[in-house]
């Protein structure tokens, strides 16, 4: 009679151990898996923020230097319009530095990030794509590469563009 109880106890301990190990193993996979949906929100939020925030509203030393030096002439430009204006004037260095100075503080360094205008890379933070890549796009008019965007938007009816601005975020 003792043998049956002994084997039953050993069987229940083994079964309980197997169930416990399965739960721990499954939960460790679940906990290490990072959600992808926040990348989609992040890319959309970046586009929305940069398209609504005017350059004069940014408290940034680099932007203030560009305003005081006369490189930024239209203070009503939002950040994306100003970057597109630098791009249209073939001043990619200013476009790159504007993007990095505005976004580096609120985008984690662990994520890859970049801005493209008409499939031309303006700014990229090189990180290898390990899991997923998400992009959000915005269309702007009044810009064309090699032509001054500010003058064409101030003095219609000359319409240039449209250009496609794309923000890509990846892990």
Residue-wise pLDDT for 53-95, tens only, equals 998 888 889 998 999 998 888 888 899 999 998 998 889 999 9
DSSP class per residue in 18-44: HHHHHHHHHHHHHHHPPPSHHHHHHHH
Report yes or no: 164 and 118 within 8 Å, Cβ to Cβ: yes
- Residue identified by tokens 């890509």 is 168
**92 and 138, same structural domain?**
yes
pLDDT tens digit sequence for 94-126 = 999 999 999 888 888 888 889 999 999 999 987
On whether the pTM is more than 0.85, the answer is no
**75 and 22, same structural domain?**
no
**49 and 23, same structural domain?**
no
Report yes or no: 120 and 63 within 8 Å, Cβ to Cβ: no
Domain region containing 67: 37-170
């Amino acid at each position: 009679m003792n043998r049956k109880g002994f084997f039953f106890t050993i069987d229940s301990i083994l079964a309980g151990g197997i169930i416990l190990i399965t739960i721990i193993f499954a939960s460790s996979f679940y906990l290490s898996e990072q959600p992808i949906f926040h990348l989609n929100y992040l890319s959309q939020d970046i586009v929305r923020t940069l398209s609504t925030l005017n350059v004069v509203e940014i408290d940034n030393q680099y932007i203030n230097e560009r305003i005081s030096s006369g490189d930024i002439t239209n203070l009503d430009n939002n950040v994306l319009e100003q970057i597109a204006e630098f791009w249209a004037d073939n001043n990619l260095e200013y476009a790159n530095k504007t993007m990095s100075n505005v976004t580096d503080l609120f985008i984690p360094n662990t994520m890859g990030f970049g801005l493209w205008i008409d499939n031309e890379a303006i700014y990229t933070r090189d990180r290898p794509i390990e899991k997923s890549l998400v992009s959000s796009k915005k269309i702007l008019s009044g810009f064309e590469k090699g032509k001054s965007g500010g003058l064409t938007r101030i003095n219609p009816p000359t319409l240039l563009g449209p250009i496609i601005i794309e923000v890509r975020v990846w892990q």
